[in-house]
Homo-oligomer: A and B are copies of this chain.
Amino acid sequence: MTVSHGGQTGRCASTALSADVVRRLDVLKVQSSPVSAMANITKKVSWSGRGEEGTPLLNGSEEVKYTRQLSGGGMFHIGRLSTVDLDEDITPEEDAVRSKPKEIPHNEKLLSLKYESLDYDNIENHLFLEEERRMGHMSFRCLEISRWVICGLIGVLTGLIACFIDIVVEKLAGVKYVVVKKSIDKNTEIGGMCISLILWAALNSAFVMVGAIIVAFFEPIAAGSGIPQIKCYLNGVKVPRVVRLKTLMVKVCGVICSVAGGLAVGKEGPMIHSGAVVAAGVSQGRSTSLKKDFKIFEYFRRDTEKRDFVSAGAAAGVSAAFGAPVGGVLFSLEEGASFWNQLLTWRIFFASMISTFTLNFVLSIYHKKTGELSSPGLINFGSFDLKSVKYNIYEIPLFIVMGAIGGLLGALFNVLNYWLTIFRIRYVHRPCLQVMEAMLVAAVTATVSFAMIYFSNDCQPLETQKSSEDYSLQGFCADGEYSAMATAFFNTPERSVRSLFHSPAGTYKLETLGCFTLVYFFLACWTYGLTVSAGVFIPSLLIGAAWGRLFGIMLPYIALNPSVFTDPGKYALMGAAAQLGGIVRMTLSLTVILVEATGNVTYGLPIMLVLMTAKIVGDYFIEGLYDVHIKLQSVPFLHWDAPATSHSLTAREVMSSPVTCFNRVEKVGTIVDVLSNTSTNHNGFPVIIQTAASEEPGKLCGLILRSQLIVLLKHKVFVERARSRLRQRKLQLKDFRDAYPRFPPIQSIHVSQDERECMMDLTEFMNPTPYTVPQDTSLPRVFKLFRALGLRHLVVVDDDNRVIGLVTRKDLARYHLGKHGLEELHLAHT
């Protein structure tokens, strides 16, 4: 196992850079610890190809294996180094650096090399153009109809999954609460509350254990809400294993267990991930995991189409989770879109619509109100009474204050969670440890809840018309009363949120809400990042609703005219928005999601104001929670624009060079050697025509991908063979599509010594018109081109059209605006 750093030519001095890397790796060594016995790969850190070889990568298959064995680190598998043996390959210069004082590790200052980009750009080679030219008007129409059909299927399946999760969770949680309630009711009389507590904690831990085990041992990528991963995928990063069937299975089971296990989590975030997996599966017309090929939708077997469908799937997920089809579309666009395409947007919208519809329809049957479609998604904020849905202009400043509070609390949440994640990376990375932590959190959650209910004295008269959906708990109240604290704690979070929004004024005491906010805040913060499938939306809403309601209750005490603040529910809603906005920092899509979940547009304006304030205040301190985790994961995430002050950089300075190029007709041996070189795992190779003077680099005439070369090698498409066997089957696009997306590693392809001497003609397969930029192009210009077209490789050429460098995602994602101006992240094999 070789960890290497591909240095960059350019203005950053190579020496300074590598010294820096050494220091960081040194620091990383400290935090790393012995890895499980499964990771039986030789571990060695070496520095190779500094400033010489572009961006070397590890060999793909090995890397994947390694990743899997190490992973399971919380909601997002945090890249880390195994125990490194630094005694070998250390230069004196590097040794000198090691004596520097230890510093806190900043994984977010590194950029992982393990992530590849998606090819959003079509490879318009001869085969592709031939196919497109053969296709008539009708074929394109059929394709368009297939796209709509697929989007419909995505919607239906996503809706069904949401139904399944909802119903199973309701059933399991119902059984659990009934059992515990009975025990408490019984034990309150005979005085053995410990038994109830233990019963509750044990039940919770059991559920969570199951959820944590499947995640930690079977599919660590299924941990967490999945939103950061989907954000990365839509951004164009190929996150390994994120859209596989197994991930979906683990995700669905995991989220059921963690919600039923009473953790401070929601089931909404995972729906987005589930929708994305469904989309990736359905659109390909086959399952690679199940080895089942339906021979349909073969045209869509490429990254461009798949990514479009995944965005529809994510939207369908949001739509099912919140009953917010428009919000879903906006979520997909806000997170994923680079180039807004109207037809695509409509398809996304269609998928979202169908998803909400399916969910509503199935749930209406389940709830024995067949055909009544007016209920929204998984989380239902309940309908706000039209008469109370009013606000006045003097409330706007109050809402803005709430937004600011939300921003502050959100930033606090993110900072705490950041440190917790760092801690987890260092100390809690073995799957068994992770399962134990999850169980501990479940037990603590139950205990704390129990204690809060036990010590609370907020007893409210039991209303007879109380809706059947609350598990009213008498607790330690007098007969005919119920414990308000229990309504908040002894309930699924969704119901608690609804109760906080809609309960009439006076339902909750000040102290109850204060304690609840405090306790739940820390519980939720601790919970996010556990190795369980779970989302952060609902806990955030719940925390916010609690302090929002508190805010609303306190207002009459400090207002000049207390009579105008009679409805704390309104403030609960604003608090929920503020808290959620402060944590995740979405604005447009979140506004629409919340408005759609509320079912009423009147609160649109205040919700926007609250979310914007929360974002502005929160951004002052720390990024949004998802971005924090993406950064900790060292994903080469491309933001919307290049850093503002990056005009001083040009393509020449950011590109990787020299570039490994191939000739139009290249020797097979050369190709195999280049592909097999584990220290330079390049994925795209410019194809050049060698000019007469062979000293000079050749002129660019195309670009070919590793995956294409592998398919060519596998089918032995050599010039000599074509000559000898005249009737040999010509390689078709279908062969490439069949191999997509899991192209075999080069090691699995046997090339004999004779074959090595053959020649391969790349003309027909390479992309003959790759996008290029001159070397003096400024970074923002390169960035814009790259981002707008979703490129993977951008060739830098000189005035004579000779290849002088290659810009990839990592070269652009490296630059970011820090506190002291433009900063550069360093590439590393984390």
Task: Please list the residues of chain A having a beta carbon within 8 angstroms of any beta carbon in chain B.
Answer: 122, 124, 129, 132-133, 135-137, 140, 325-326, 329, 333-334, 337-343, 345-346, 349-350, 353, 356-357, 361, 364, 370-374, 376, 383, 385-386, 389-394, 396, 587-588, 591-592, 595-596, 598-602, 604-605, 608-609, 612, 640-641, 644-645, 647-648, 689, 699, 701, 768-769, 771-774, 776-778, 781, 784-785, 788-789, 797, 799-801, 817, 821
Contacts and interface: CB of A to CB of B under 8 A. Distances in A.
Contacts of A781: 122, 124, 769
Pairs A-B, 9 closest by C-beta atoms: A132-B647, A371-B393, A140-B644, A769-B777, A788-B788, A337-B340, A340-B340, A371-B392, A342-B640
Contacts of A701: 799
A216 B678 CA distance: 73
A817 B137 contact: yes
B393 A373 contact: yes
Nearest to A372: B392
A689 B798 CA distance: 14
Nearest to A784: B789
B391 A374 contact: yes
Contacts of A599: 600-602
Contacts of A776: 768-769
A788 B787 CA distance: 10
Contacts of A353: 605, 608-609
A336 B306 CA distance: 25
Contacts of A641: 341, 343
Contact of A133 (B326, B342, B647): B647
Contacts of A768: 774, 776
Contacts of A329: 588
11 contacts: A137-B817, A137-B821, A325-B605, A339-B340, A371-B393, A372-B392, A373-B396, A386-B386, A592-B592, A600-B601, A800-B801
A821 B138 CA distance: 10
Nearest to A640: B342
Contacts of A140: 644-645
B640 A124 contact: no
A600 B608 CA distance: 17
A390 B374 contact: yes
A321 B799 CA distance: 53
Q: Which of A137, A385, A609 has the most chain B CB atoms inside 10 A of its CB? A: A137
Given A371-B392, A393-B373, A781-B124, A608 B334 contact: no
Contacts of A337: 340
Given A136-B645, A602-B374, A788-B789, A587 B349 contact: yes
A605 B326 contact: no
A790 to B, nearest CB: 9
A195 to B, nearest CB: 46
Given A769-B778, A771-B785, A789-B788, A605 B357 contact: yes
Nearest to A802: B801
A205 B817 CA distance: 62
B137 A349 contact: no
Given A137-B821, A778-B129, A325 B645 contact: no
Contacts of A689: 799
A724 B44 CA distance: 67
A587 B777 contact: no
Given A124-B778, A374-B391, A800-B800, 11 more contacts: A132-B647, A325-B605, A333-B340, A334-B345, A345-B588, A346-B588, A364-B393, A769-B776, A769-B781, A771-B785, A785-B789
Contacts of A699: 799-800
Contacts of A132: 647-648, 778
Contacts of A801: 797, 799-801
A140 to B, nearest CB: 4
A802 to B, nearest CB: 9
Contacts of A357: 605
B373 A389 contact: no
Contacts of A346: 587-588, 612
A588 B645 contact: no
A624 to B, nearest CB: 12
A786 to B, nearest CB: 11
A640 B343 contact: yes
Contact of A605 (B373, B394, B588, B595): B373
Given A349-B587, A371-B394, A374-B390, A644 B137 contact: yes
Given A647-B132, A801-B801, A325 B784 contact: no
Contacts of A325: 604-605, 608
Contact of A129 (B595, B645, B647): B647
A600 B596 CA distance: 9
Nearest to A325: B604
Contacts of A587: 346, 349
A772 B343 CA distance: 27
B785 A135 contact: no
Contacts of A339: 338-340, 784, 788
A343 B389 CA distance: 31
A375 B599 CA distance: 16
A376 B603 CA distance: 11
